[in-house]
Amino acid sequence: MAGIRFINVSKQYGSGSAAVKVIHGVDAEVHHGEFVVIVGPSGCGKSTLLRMVAGLEAITGGEIAIGERVVNRVDPADRDIAMVFQNYALYPHFNVFDNMAYGLRIRKLPPAEVKARVEKAAATLELSHLLQRKPRQLSGGQRQRVAMGRAIVRQPQVFLFDEPLSNLDAKLRAQTRVEIRKLHAELGITSLFVTHDQVEAMTLAQRMMVMNAGLMEQFGSPEEVYARPATTFVAGFIGSPPMNLLAGRAEGRFFHIGGERLALPAAAPREGALTLGVRPEHAHIGSAAGWPLRVELGEMLGAERLVYGRLGDAAFTLRIAGTDIPPASGSTVQMVVAPEHLHWFDAPGGKRVG
């Protein structure tokens, strides 16, 4: 096994004035045996970055190293990686055993070793009883496990997952996430997993790389990214529902937003134009004077409720327990936020300042 290093990696299509730059100088290190998720919206460059690790996309600038070897000019077949795609890409005329064994037979491994590797991977993925079935006889989740098994039997240094759960329904996605986590815990192989789903990223990652328009906005553990987002993009992308972001002006212990003057529990890091961030679960309805939220509507989600309203001229979402009595639409409630739950961002650039 080996780690992965990105050293000022960039990618552009075309040249000269017609060049389109899609990856902008990514610097990061994935440690040996680590499970890292690359997450971001469609078109942010996450799959392109993964494909450059695989050797399916040429690198325009910088270096990618797997272990101690720079692989910029190494053929995909020689990088010792295994990739699992969104499309299972199983051979329909092969049974499960033959699908998993195909790559090993191409490499001319002894039949006994092929059999041993396939049976071990099948046992790990709970596929042993399905080895003689054809893909059409399997569910979507079982087909994806076969695709993962085909990667496992190669015993690579690095696993690459390109949105492998996108074709599954919600229940199967949750089950397969658990299987992937168990698989990584057992095998300990360095893994890069690409997804646009921030729930997948939060539940799977040991560390996560948040991408936006070809830039790496933040790289850290799910807890770090959630608790201290580096930019307003990360704050608005990670979390469901996302962080409330309020653009306004700080003045001492007050924050002005859309004609409303909010008293702050602690002074802003500086005065002037700032964006104030508050997670929906960190604002609480209190009896004392606080921030006046004009309630518009509520949603019952079982264990919790979401209350939607307006704070000044800005939309605001509040999360309360499902057992709490919801405030009536059209009413005004007073919200209280503890000072440790205030997030401050630079208004022009969106970078964290406090």
Condensed to tens digits (0 to 9), the pLDDT of residues 126-184 reads: 899 999 999 999 988 888 889 888 888 888 999 999 998 887 788 878 888 888 888 88
Instruction: Report which secondary-structure segment, H or E, holds 241.
Output: none
Q: Are residues 103 and 225 in the same domain?
A: yes
283 and 200 within one domain: no
Report the C-alpha gap between 202 and 225 in whole angstroms.
9
Token pair listed for 202: 């939060």
Lookup: tokens for 181:
């986590």
Q: Are residues 177 and 105 in the same domain?
A: yes
User: Could you tell me if 67 and 188 lie in one domain?
Assistant: yes
The domain tally of the chain equals 2
Q: Residue 98 and residue 329: Cα distance in Å, rounded?
A: 60
pTM of model > 0.85: yes
* Structure confidence by residue, pLDDT tens digits, 67-125: 999 999 999 989 999 998 888 889 999 999 999 999 899 889 999 999 999 998 888 88
In a domain, 351, yes or no: no
What is the residue-averaged pLDDT of the chain?
92
Residues 267, 254 contacting (CB under 8 angstroms): no
Whether 354 is in a domain gets the answer no
Alpha carbon distance, N-terminus to C-terminus of the chain: 39
pLDDT in tens, 218-227: 999 999 999 9
CATH number of the domain where residue 205 is located: 3.40.50.300
Residue 136: domain span: 4-229
Residue-by-residue DSSP string for 84-134: E-SS----TTS-HHHHHHHHHHHTT--HHHHHHHHHHHHHHTT-GGGTT--
Q: Are 211 and 128 in a shared domain?
A: yes
* Residues 22 and 141 both lie in one domain: yes
DSSP per-residue letters across 260-310: EEEEPSS--SSSEEEEEEE-GGGEEEESSS-EEEEEEEEEE-SSEEEEEEE
In terms of domains, do 271 and 123 share one?
no
Residues 119 and 218 grouped into a single domain = yes
% of the chain beyond a pLDDT of 70 = 100
- pLDDT score of 98: 94
Q: Are residues 222 and 310 in the same domain?
A: no
The pLDDT confidence band at residue 14, using thresholds 50, 70 and 90, is confident
Q: Are 264 and 188 members of one domain?
A: no
Is residue 12 in some structural domain?
A: yes
